[in-house]
Amino acid sequence: MKTFYRILHFFILIICLLLQIVFFENLKSFSVDFDLIMVVIIAITLFDGVFWGMLFGFIVGMVLDIMVGSIVGISAFIYSMNAFMVDRLITAGFRYRLLTYSFIVFLITEINILIVSLIRYLFNFDSNLLRMGLELVTKPVCNIILMFIIFPIISSGTKREIELGFKYKNKI
């Protein structure tokens, strides 16, 4: 049954890749920047494990770079590292709760923006500090909104449920 859900998660990731390329890339001109693939990779890592998150992140990152990327391999590296960082955060002691998921999506989004800006700067692409500052503010909010849509879809087949984080919820 776990294999079925991993295959299903891969097909969900492919659908999200198509949505990212066709729909969400066009919203960047309006300063609305969603990273649907990153949110799905984080969800897959949380619910399927770090191996599957890194594998799916590398595959989809390479496909995305070949189709629309300017530096081939940067998305594959970033998405694989996202899965690794999520695993390190969970093994460091973070709990499986909604607030933790929001923090992880926020933190990974900020780290991605800084790493991509640094790599683009090192390869002599134009880097705009004003655009990066705007991304640092708007992109995490957009990705957290996506998290509330994607995480229930990915976690529907697992036994681990999303907790709200209330300590005494049964005693009320």
Contact 141, 167 (CB under 8 A): no
- Cα 91 from Cα 27, distance rounded (Å): 35
State the pLDDT confidence band at 140, using cuts at 50, 70 and 90.
very high
| 172, pLDDT greater than 70 | no
- Which tokens sit at 104? 């992880």
Report domain extents, the chain.
33-155
Could you give the residue ranges of the DSSP H alpha helices within the chain? Answer: 2-22, 36-48, 50-68, 74-91, 98-122, 129-154
What pLDDT score does 24 carry? 84
SS3 of residue 69 by DSSP: coil
Which residue, among 25, 1, 32, has the nearest Cα to 159 in the 3D structure? 1
What pLDDT score does 107 carry? 95
pTM of the model: 0.85
| 41, pLDDT greater than 90 | yes
Q: Token match 């994607």: residue?
A: 150
> Which of 34-48, 109-123, 156-170 shows the lowest mean pLDDT across its residues?
156-170
Q: What is the pLDDT of residues 19-36, one digit of tens each?
A: 988 888 888 777 778 889
